[in-house]
Structures are given as structure tokens and as C-alpha cells.
Amino acid sequence: TGVCCCCSALRPRYKRLVDNIFPEDPKDGLVKADMEKLTFYAVSAPEKLDRIGSYLAERLSRDVVRHRSGYVLIAMEALDQLLMACHSQSIKPFVESFLHMVAKLLESGEPKLQVLGTNSFVKFANIEEDTPSYHRRYDFFVSRFSAMCHSCHSDPEIQTEIRIAGIRGIQGVVRKTVNDELRATIWEPQHMDKIVPSLLFNMQKIEEVDSRLGPPSSPSAADKEENPAVLAENCFRELLGRATFGNMNNAVRPVFAHLDHHKLWDPNEFAVHCFKIIMYSIQAQYSHHVIQEILGHLDARKKDSPRVRAGIIQVLLEAVAIAAKGSIGPTVLEVFNTLLKHLRLSVEFEANDLQGGSVGSANVSTSSKDNDEKIVQNAIIQTIGFFGSNLPDYQRSEIMMFIMGKVPVFGTSTHTLDISQLGDLGTRRIQIMLLRSLLMVTSGYKAKTIVTALPGSFLDPLLSPSLMEDSELRQLVLEVMHNLMDRHDNRAKLRGIRIIPDVADLKIKREKICRQDTSFMKKNGQQLYRHIYLGCKEEDNVQKNYELLYTSLALITIELANEEVVIDLIRLAIALQDSAIINEDNLPMFHRCGIMALVAAYLNFVSQMIAVPAFCQHVSKVIEIRTMEAPYFLPEHIFRDKCMLPKSLEKHEKNLYFLTNKIAESLGGSGYSVERLSVPYVPQVTDEDRLSRRKSIVDTVSIQVDILSNSAPSDDVVSNTEEITFEALKKAIDASGMEEQEKEKRRLVIEKFQKAPFEEIAAQCESKANLLHDRLAQILELTIHPPPSPSGTLTITSGHAQYQSIPVYEMKFPDLCVY
């Protein structure tokens, strides 16, 4: 006994104090009185903390090996109390001993010890140290806690306990390291590749995935402790909330790897849930980083099955929906460019599948792939539309131009989308998809002036597809125009072509036409009229086409019509009626009656809008007679199923038609300038017919005027055998330059006659005709009866000879120039 007392007295004091905290029976627990002595000693002599920690670690390691769990619990409790009590600089060596002991517990195969070690680490993680420890690393703990998150213990309760411990351990590592950039960071890819999949693996266990549109609700404290899925989700949110600009991508990329590995894009409920959490957890200014990562992953998986691509695109839609409320960043055009590229790829895959389909069972597979590609295309269009509708107006107009520049038009190379591999069927499909995207983007767009909504650089390419021989394309173009024209939300009131008894009941909203809108109609009105006129005469029109054309006329009347535009629209309506009667295009009877019904519906609408009683009376009378004698001329009947059609229109009485003289008389009595009503409307002729592959009214327009008399051949012409000299080349270049100038002059003349207002051309012709009258009288001393009219015919009397109806352009005089 004396020896033992002597040996005990020779032992260092810190060892004696440590030994005293362990009772003989571990069931008695920590000896509190001796623990207080040890704590006081450690605080009084902090330089001894290192040795205390080492000795405790030595005892704990021995007890772990011997499976003396009771003493292990006492040792960890003592370590926890010392750790909480001491905050001096000397604690750092003690922390190393502490972490070494925690690692020993985590390496043990006993779940109880693993949970114990985790709890101690979490307590340590909540302690704020005065200075960072640059050499300390947590690689082992990241790996061990991640492995615990994937525990597959046979006992479900123990499995859950271990997984919860692993998640809490990861949460502790994150809290300990994430805020100090000087320490060894866990944002490195090798750590994130373990942490993020571990959390997602546990989040997958949620039985009912949150599908709410708003941010997921925060779990209660009880759920956090008991449910691994809820705890993992909370830890995932915390991790993302601490992410900064430089390490955001490292935290997001493992999510894609996990979703790919577990094939969670189809179905994609969990993927959508994950990215909702990501978008709501990160700082708003970093949203565009996530969108860029999704776009990059979509590019990487472009050859995957359609359903996988559709799943990624739907995730992008959810991310965009959340990001649009905050900062989208500089990725606007990149988003649209990537989506349009994948839209083209989807159409290309669809076209290839259709071409490669064979008879029999292969057709079923081809049809399935075709439907899957349509899912992809619809997802892309929905994403484009949602993204575009949330952009400010100035960005939306840029996106409209961007998409319009991608729409391929036959015969042109102005579009920027590669369609070389698509063929005609694929090109038509991509045209429809792009116009549907454009329709989504323009939905809800409100511009103060029509020039802002439809600038020339956008209007011209938009109207090109409206002349294509495809009714669906023409419908989409008209719907896009309605989105941009309808600035007062009147379109819903005009839906469906019909005879409206009282337009006042619709409560149409309109404002006074501004100067910019008037200028727009002077410049582009004829172009709009032409497309409506030709659109009515397409052979593949269906009821929807006539309804949209009627809506176009009504919206122009509401939004853009002054007195001059009203007269032009009435001229256009009468011209459509005449074309249906004469039928130069050999249209079927249904289409002819459809045009007549459209004209009736529009004239009924415009007569009530301008509120001229005599005009309203004439229109009402014609509609009344049609109701009794020719109901197929009214929209309510012709667009009804099994409507009886007439055999011809030539035998109908005039009282079934709207008459120009009656309309002119009624409008003239109300102060309208009706002179132009007597001039039949003729559409402009442009190159769009060729570009859109439709039958052109006139193939070429040529205006030739003889301005010089026949003269001898020029002596300057170089013969074939003449020696080529500098002077000969100079003369040839000069002659070529003159030809170019002459071609340019002709082009300007043609363009002027195509696009200039009717009044301007008529006035110029009249002035030139008067000039011609005076000049002829001076030169030939002839008497001209009467002065030449703009029609270009003269009656000339000289002595006993009289010449009547000589066309002006056939009269040749040496010193007279006729333009």
C-alpha cells in the first residue's frame, strides 16, 4: 500500500486530477466534485491543457479498444466540459486531442459511440474561436459524416439515428469552416462532391415532395431532430445560404451529378424540389449562376432521351420563375440563345425520326419519340414565354427582335438559325415553334406607341410568314400582331367573328390617335392592308384565320384609325367583297362566302364605331336582307357545321352587297373625304410573294419611258477586235457606272409607286400632266381638249386632223422628257 501511495504521489498532478473524475463503477457517472477541481486547474494553468487532453485521449482510446463504453462516455463528457470552460490561446493543442478522440469514436463500429462522437463535434462546432487555426483540416470528418449519411444498418431505428448523426456532423463542419476564408475550406470540389450528394440522398426520402410555387416552408424544430430528410434539407439550405460568388458553382454542380446518377430527371419532381430550394436559399444576385449551370448541363445532355431534356428544361423554368422576381443578371440572351438552339435540335431529332421510321412495330417507337420531342418543344416554349413575360419592356423588345431573327423564311438568308439539316418539314416545324415562342414573349406587352411595339426592323420580317401557304403560320403571325397592337385589352371582347348588334355594349376602350401612330399608318398602313387582303384569299384558310383577320381589322380601327385610315379600311373591305364576287383566284365557295361574312362583320363593326347613322343604316339593311335571302354571307351561318352553300354568286341581287356609292354618300354627308372611295383598292406588289413561295399577283413591274429619239449608234463602243487600252477600260467603267445609276433611278421610281400614299402620286401625276399640256401647246401649237388627266390620255386637234386617246407614254418628241 505504501508503494501505491508513493507512486500516486509521484504522478503529475493533472493525471491525478484526470484519474479522480472516473469512478470505480462507470454507472455512477462523472465525479462532479473532482471534475470541478480539474476544470479549475485547467483554467488556472492553461499551459497544462495540452497534457490533460493527451492523457484523456490516451485513456479514451484504451477504453474504446476494451469496449468499456461507460468510461468512454465519462471521458467525452469531461472533454466537452473542459472545451466549454477554456477559451485561451493554449486551447488549440487541446482541440487537436479532442478531435483525435472524436475521430476514434467515429471509426468505431458501435452506433452509440458514433452518435456520441458526433454530438461532441457539434458542441465543438458551436464554439467561436478567437483566432483561426490554419493547419487544422476536416477532411476525415467530411468523409466520415458523409458515409454515416448513407448508413444501411439492418435496424431501421439505428439506421435513422446514424443518418441523423451524419447530417448533424456535416452541419457542424459547415458552421465551423464556412465563414472563415483563411481556413482550409470545405468549398473545394472534393468536399462538396461528398457533402451535397449525402444531403440529397437523405432528402430523397421525403414521401411527398413539396410542389408549392412559393418558397418551401421552414421545418419545425421537432422535425429537424427526428426526420433525416427534413434535417438534410435544412442543412442544404444553410450550406447554400453561406455560398459566395466564388464557390457557388462548386455547391451546385454535385446536384447535377446526383440527379444524373440516380436518373431523377424523369420524373423530375425531386429535381424541381431541389432547385426550388437552391433558388430560394442563395443570395438573389447569384441566381444567374444557377441558371448558367442549368444551361450548361442542358448542353451536356443534349443527346439524352427527350424526357430527360424536358425534365432539365422544366427545372430551368422553375429556376427562371424564381430568378425573374429578383436579379437575372447578364444571361438573358444566353438563356434564349441556348433554348432556341435546343428547340432546333429537338425539331431536327423529330424530323430524323420521322424520316427514319419504318413500317410495323417501329412506327410505334417513332410515334412515341415524336410525342416525347413535342414535350421538349412545349417545355422550351413555355420557358421562353415565362422568361420573356417577366423581363422589362426594353429587354423584351430586344428578345422579340432576337427570336424574329431566328425565324427562317424561304428564299432568304437573313435568319441566324441553322436549318440545313431540317428539310421542308423540319423548317416548317421550327417556324411554328419560334412563332409560338414569340407569341408567348409578346403576351402582355404594352407599348405607349405602336412604333415602339412594331418598328420597321421587326414588322417586315414578322409579316413575311403571313404570306406563306400554311394556315397555322399565318394564324401565329396575326396573334403576335394582336398582342402588340392591343394596348387597351379589347381583343377578348372581339373574340369570335360575328355580327355585333350594339358595339357600345362591348365597352371598347380607346384613346385619341397620337401623332406617332398616325405617322406609323402613313408609312406602314399599305403594308398591313396588303397582308390582310392577301391573307383573306388563301385557299387553306379555316374559320380561325377569318376570325383573326377580322380581329386585325377591328384592332386597327380601335388603336390606329383616323378618318383617312377608316376610308382605307372600308376600301379594303369593298375590295375583298369584289374579289369574292369576281373570284379571279378560283377560290372554293366556302372561302368566298367566308370573305363575304368577314366583310359584313367588319363593316357592321366600323359603322358603329364611327357612328355615322346613314352608314349604319345601309350596313344594317344589307345584313337584314342577307339574313332572309343569303344567310351564308353572314358569319353566324357560314362557319356553322353543314351550312348550305350557293352554287354561284353571279346571280345575286345588288341589294345583298355593300355598295361603294351608298357608303360614299353616307360618309360624305358626315364630313368625310370620300373621293378615294371611288378608287378601287389594289394591294402593293413586293418581293415577299417570291420569298414566301406563294403565287404572286404580278411577277414583275416594269416602267419604261422613252426620253430620247432614235439616234445613231455611239462611236465610243469598243469592237470585239479593238485593242484593250487604258482609255477603253475607262470608257467601259464610265458606261457601267451610268447603267448602275439608271437602274437605281428605276428602282426608286418603282419603290415610290409601291409605297407612296395614293394622294401624293395622284397630285404628282396631275402636276406633270398640266406641265405636259403647256409644253405640247408651245412646241406644236396644237389645241388640246381637255387638259390631260392623270389617266394619261390626250385628245389632240391640229387643223382638220383629230387624234383621240393617245397614251402619253407612246408620244415621242425629241426635246420632251416624260416621267
CB 608, CB 502: distance < 8 Å: yes
Look up residue 688 and give its three cell numbers: 415577299
pLDDT-based confidence at residue 612 (cuts at 50, 70, 90): very high
Interhelix angle for 228-241 vs 269-281, to 10°?
40
Confidence grade of residue 281 (pLDDT, cut at 50, 70, 90): very high
Decide: 597 and 639 in contact? Cβ < 8 Å.
Answer: yes
The set of residues, in sequence order, having a beta carbon less than 8 Å from that of 628 and lying 6+ positions away, is none
Reported as a single tens digit per residue, the pLDDT across 25-37 is: 877 778 888 888 8
- Which has more pLDDT, 51 or 270? 270
H or E segment to which residue 804 belongs: strand 801-807
> Roughly what angle, to the nearest 10 degrees, separates helices 269-281 and 189-203?
120
Q: Give me the pLDDT at residue 22, please.
A: 83
Does residue 786 have a cis peptide bond before it, meaning omega lies within 30 degrees of 0? Answer: yes
CA 284 – CA 329 distance, rounded (Å):
10
Matching residue, cell 487604258: 726
Mean pLDDT on 206-234: 62
> pLDDT digits over 161-185, tens only?
999 999 999 999 888 886 655 454 7
DSSP sequence for 723-772: ---HHHHHHHHHHHHHHHHHHHHHHHHHHHHHHS-HHHHHHHHHHHHHHH
Does 210 have pLDDT greater than 50? no
Q: Binning pLDDT at 50, 70 and 90, where does residue 329 land? A: low
Residue 345 has pLDDT above 70, yes or no: yes
Out of 458-467, 513-522, 603-612, pick the least confident: 458-467
Query: Radius of gyration over alpha carbons of the chain, in Å?
Result: 43
- Report the length, in residues, of the chain: 819
How far apart are alpha carbons 172 and 181 in whole angstroms? Answer: 16
pLDDT at 718 over 70: no
pLDDT tens digit sequence for 350-404: 877 766 654 444 454 556 666 788 889 999 998 888 888 878 888 888 888 888 8
pLDDT at 2 over 60: no
pLDDT at position 703: 29
Mean pLDDT for all residues in the chain: 79
Cis peptide bond N-terminal to 267, omega within 30: yes
| For the chain, counts of helices (H) and of strands (E) | 34, 3
Most confidently predicted of 116-120, 463-467, 599-603, 721-725: 599-603
* Res. 652 pLDDT band, cuts 50 70 90: confident
Tell me what pLDDT residue 818 has.
Answer: 38
Q: Any idea of the CA torsion for 291, 236, 312, 337, to the nearest 10 degrees?
A: 0
In this prediction, residue 796 carries a pLDDT of 45
Three-point CA angle 554, 559, 563, nearest 5°: 85
Listed by start position, the domains of the chain span: 1-131, 469-513+526-691
| pLDDT higher than 50, residue 693 | no
- The band of 706, judged by pLDDT with boundaries at 50, 70 and 90, is very low
Containing 793, the helix (H) or strand (E) segment is strand 793-798
Place 263 in a pLDDT band, splitting at 50, 70 and 90.
Answer: very high
CA 291, 297, 302 angle in degrees (round to 5)? 125
- 617 pLDDT more than 90: yes
Which grid cell sits at 790? Answer: 392623270
Cell numbers given for 227: 426526420
Contacts of residue 150, defined as CB under 8 A and 6 or more positions apart, other chains included, come to 163, 166, 198, 201
Q: pLDDT tens, 63-101?
A: 888 888 888 888 888 877 887 777 655 566 677 777 888
What pLDDT score does 46 carry? 74
Mean per-residue pLDDT for 281-309? 90
pLDDT at site 98: 79
> Looking at the predicted structure, is the pLDDT value of residue 808 above 50?
no
Peptide bond preceding 392 in cis form (omega within 30 of 0): no
Residue 575, number of CB atoms within 10 A of its CB: 18
CB 200, CB 255: distance < 8 Å: yes
* The predicted structure's pLDDT at residue 89: 52
Is the pLDDT higher at 209 or at 573?
A: 573
The CA distance from 604 to 717, in Å, is 66
Long-range contacts at 16-25 (CB < 8 A, ≥ 24 apart): 17/41, 17/52, 18/52, 18/55, 18/56, 18/59, 18/78, 21/74, 21/78, 22/59, 22/71, 22/74, 22/75, 23/74
| 596's grid cell | 363575304
pLDDT at 202: 93
Q: In the predicted model, what is the mean pLDDT of residues 191-211?
A: 78
Give, in order, the Cα–Cα distances in Å from 745 to each of 208, 523, 703, 734, 819.
74, 21, 11, 17, 11
Proportion of the chain above pLDDT 70, given as a percent: 74
User: According to the model, what pLDDT value does residue 97 have?
Assistant: 77
Q: What is the pLDDT of residue 747?
A: 72
